[in-house]
Amino acid sequence: MYPGDATRQIEFLLEAKMMGTPKHANSPGEKAVGRAGSADTNKRVKELAFKSIDLKGEASRRLAMIGTAPTGGGAGGGDLSNWLHATRPVIYFFMAVRVISDSDFAAVVRWAETAAQVVDAVGLYCYDFDPTSVTTYRRRDGVPTPYALDRVLYRACLELRRLQEAPPPAIPEDVAPSPAVAAAELARGSPDPDGAA
C-alpha cells in the first residue's frame, strides 16, 4: 500500500494473485492437467469486492470526519461500481493465471471483467502449459487490451509517480478510529478514548 505511513491516508493498493497449478504428486484424484486457473477465481474476486468496499468506505468515513466530502457518489446515482471507481484509495488487481483450456481461459477473462467492476484496474496475464513438461509454459494470447498486464502495470507506475510527487495529507490526530479498530482495542483492554468504562 502507498503510502506505507500510518499517519497518512492510504492512496494506492495493489494486490497480486497466482491461480492454476500443475497436478500435485500427493493428489491422486486430481486431473492430469492440474487445477484450472478459473477454479478459485470466483472466491478471489468476491474477497476483492469486500476488501474494496471496506477500504474505500473507511477512507470516506475518515474524510467525512474531518469535514471533507468523500470523493464518490454524485453522478453514480446509487450505483456501487461508480462509487467504488470514484473513491480513494485506488485499487489495482493483478492476476497471473495458468489456464488448461479455451473454456478455462474464457472463464478467467469473464472473472477479470467482473473484478473490474469493483476495483480501479485489473491486469491479467495468462499462460498455457506444455503437456510434455510440467515446467514449460507459453504466454496465452487473447487477453483483452484493457486487462493486458503490461498496459495496466504502466498505469500503476504513473499513478505511483503522481502520488510520489504530491503525497497525501496527514490524517488529523483527532480522527476517531474505525469501529473495528475501536473494538479490537477494547478487546485487548486498551482504555476507551472517551474515558468510559
The domain segmentation of the chain, as residue ranges, is 12-187
Element housing 86 (H / E): helix 80-86
User: Hey, what's the torsion of the CAs at 88, 79, 156, 7, to 10 degrees?
Assistant: 10
pLDDT for 174: 66
Convert the pLDDT of each residue in 4-60 to its tens digit.
676 777 889 999 999 988 777 777 777 878 889 999 898 999 999 999 998 888 888
More confident residue, 117 or 9: 117
Q: Identity (one letter) of the amino acid at 141?
A: D
Measure the CA–CA gap between 174 and 197, rounded to whole angstroms: 20
- What separation in angstroms does the CA of 61 have from each of 13, 68, 75, 145, 175? 18, 10, 19, 35, 10
Q: Angle 149-127-161 (CA atoms, 0-180°, nearest 5)? A: 15
For residue 10, give the nearest of 83, 61, 82 by alpha carbon: 61
The per-residue pLDDT for range 68-98, each reduced to its tens digit, is 666 655 554 568 888 888 888 899 999 999 9
pLDDT at 163 over 60: yes
Cα–Cα distance, 172 to 51 (Å, whole number): 24
| Lowest pLDDT segment from 86-90, 111-115, 179-183 | 179-183
In 3-state terms, what secondary structure has residue 92? strand
Lowest average pLDDT, out of 150-159, 174-183, 188-197, goes to 188-197
Residues 6+ apart with CB under 8 A from 94: 14, 15, 16, 17, 122, 123, 124, 125, 149, 152, 153
Give the pLDDT score at 73: 54
Which residue is associated with the grid cell 477473462? 109
What band does 2 get if pLDDT is binned at 50, 70 and 90?
low
Beta carbons of 123 and 149 less than 8 angstroms apart:
yes
Other C-beta atoms closer than 10 Å to the C-beta of 72 total 20
Burial 14-42 (b: 16+ CB within 10 A, else e): bbeeebbebeeeeeeeeeeebbbbbbbbe
For residue 18, what pLDDT is reported?
Answer: 93
pLDDT band at residue 197 under the 50/70/90 scheme: very low
